[in-house]
């Protein structure tokens, strides 16, 4: 039976491919797509989700907009990484997929209540919507099978030397999620940096010969130029699909139990994930932390998803 999931995202180049993977892979059943402010403002991330769904033919999944700013601090978008639109690079046709007239948090709560089995949440963005869900609707916790998120790192950050973007954008929300008691799996930079979109990967998307395959290659080319300019990396890491891959097939992403704390106060380290991999502090384990990726099988699954969506449209 496919695992029922909801993706909470801020497209975002890598979010776009996470949506495609989740929509096409038969191991998961994508129940809803919710958006939040992060890589760009909420109006832009929501428009981008609609653009991706339209191009990829994802027309049977509700899209709902959520929070337009972090819980406490002002929003600081990542235009340096994702461009002014949040999805710079390729041209997208005008979106025909619309948003539903329900706040993302209310939609997630309703689906959790109505679905016959517990649902897995896959946040690939700041955790604002998920934290609001857990505080506004405490009954949600028991209906969530697990939260498999992209964010944080066991090592260094990317938004600051210490903090990864999704956690740094809303650290209070991340702390609420990690302290909630809901099972959490954290797919951080230490593992997403194993999903590098090399020229060979781009060539595989191009070789599909579909508009969607070409768009993926263009998205990754834009993402690659940003990563090269900002961090001198030869190839960009495709962060967000790694969290989806962990749900699709847990053997793709190896995890270990650990204690994860969110730094809320450090003047240079706010938003850092402090990960006690070796249980040195003796505190209760509150997360599974991803430590390695089966890169070859990950790309096979990702390219296969784009192929399946592209041929559905042909």
Q: How far is the CB of 124 from Ca ion (least distance, A)?
A: 4
Q: Which is nearer to ligand BDR, 169 or 210 (CB)?
A: 169
Using rule CB under 6 A, residue 158 touches ligand BDR: yes
* 129 vs 151: CA distance, rounded Å: 14
Q: How far is the CB of 288 from ligand BDR (least distance, A)?
A: 18
Cβ distance 90 to 71 under 8 Å?
Answer: no
Out of 240, 246, 262, 303, the residue judged to bind ligand BDR by CB under 6 A: 240
Cβ distance 127 to 168 under 8 Å?
Answer: no
Which one of the listed residues 13, 82, 239, 279 is annotated catalytic? 239
Look up 239 and say whether it is catalytic: yes
Please tell me whether the peptide bond between 139 and the residue prior to it is cis, using omega within 30 degrees of 0: no
Residue 218: φ, ψ to 5°: -70, -40
Stretch that binds ligand BDR, among 128-136, 157-165, 248-256, 261-269 (CB under 6 A): 157-165
- 13-52 footprint of ligand BDR as x/- string (CB under 6 A): -xx-----------------------x-------------
How many other C-beta atoms lie within 10 A of the C-beta of residue 249?
A: 15
How many chain residues are in contact with ligand BDR, going by CB under 6 A?
15
- 224-253 footprint of Ca ion as x/- string (CB under 5 A): ----------------x-------------
Total H helices, total E strands in the chain:
12, 9
Out of 33, 56, 104, 150, the residue judged to bind ligand BDR by CB under 6 A: 150
* 234 vs 227: CA distance, rounded Å: 8
Q: How far is the CB of 244 from ligand BDR (least distance, A)?
A: 12
Question: Interaction with Ca ion in 46-105: which residues (CB under 5 A)?
Answer: none
* 103 vs 87: CA distance, rounded Å: 23
Q: Three-state secondary structure along 198-262?
A: CHHHHHHHHHCCCHHHHHHHHHHHHHHHHHHHHHCCCCCECCHHHHHHHHHCHHHEEEEEEEEEE
- 147-186 footprint of Ca ion as x/- string (CB under 5 A): ----------------------------------------
Structure tokens at 295: 């890169």
Q: How far is the CB of 93 from ligand BDR (least distance, A)?
A: 22
Residues that bind Ca ion (CB under 5 A): 10, 12, 15, 124-125, 240
Q: Give catalytic residues, as residue numbers.
A: 239
């Amino acid at each position: 039976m496919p695992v029922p999931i909801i993706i909470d995202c801020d497209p975002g180049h890598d979010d776009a491919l996470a949506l495609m993977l989740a929509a096409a892979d038969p191991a998961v059943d994508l129940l809803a797509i919710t958006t939040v402010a992060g890589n760009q403002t909420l109006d832009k991330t929501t428009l981008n989700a609609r653009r991706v769904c339209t191009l990829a033919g994802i027309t049977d999944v509700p899209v709902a907009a959520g929070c337009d700013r972090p819980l406490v601090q002002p929003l600081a978008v990542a235009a340096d990484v994702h461009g002014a639109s949040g999805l710079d690079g390729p041209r997208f046709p005008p979106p025909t997929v619309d948003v539903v007239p329900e706040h993302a948090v209310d939609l997630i709560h309703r689906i959790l209540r109505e679905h016959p089995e517990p649902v897995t949440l896959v946040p690939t963005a700041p955790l604002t919507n998920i934290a609001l869900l857990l505080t506004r609707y405490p009954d949600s916790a028991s209906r969530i099978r697990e939260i498999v998120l992209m964010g944080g790192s066991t090592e260094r950050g990317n938004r600051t030397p210490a903090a990864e973007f999704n956690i740094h954008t809303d650290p209070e929300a991340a702390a609420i999620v990690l302290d909630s008691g809901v099972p959490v799996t954290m797919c951080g930079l230490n593992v997403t940096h194993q999903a590098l979109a090399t020229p060979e990967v781009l060539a595989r998307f191009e070789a599909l010969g579909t508009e969607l395959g070409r768009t993926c290659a263009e998205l990754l080319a834009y993402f690659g130029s940003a990563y090269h300019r900002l961090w001198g990396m030869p190839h960009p890491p495709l962060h967000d699909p790694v969290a989806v891959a962990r749900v699709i097939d847990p053997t793709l992403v190896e995890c270990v139990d650990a204690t994860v704390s969110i730094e809320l106060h450090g003047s240079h380290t706010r938003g850092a994930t402090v990960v006690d991999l070796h249980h040195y502090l003796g505190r209760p384990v509150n997360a599974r932390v991803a430590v390695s990726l089966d890169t070859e099988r990950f790309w096979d699954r990702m390219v296969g998803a784009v192929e399946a969506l592209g041929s559905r449209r042909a």
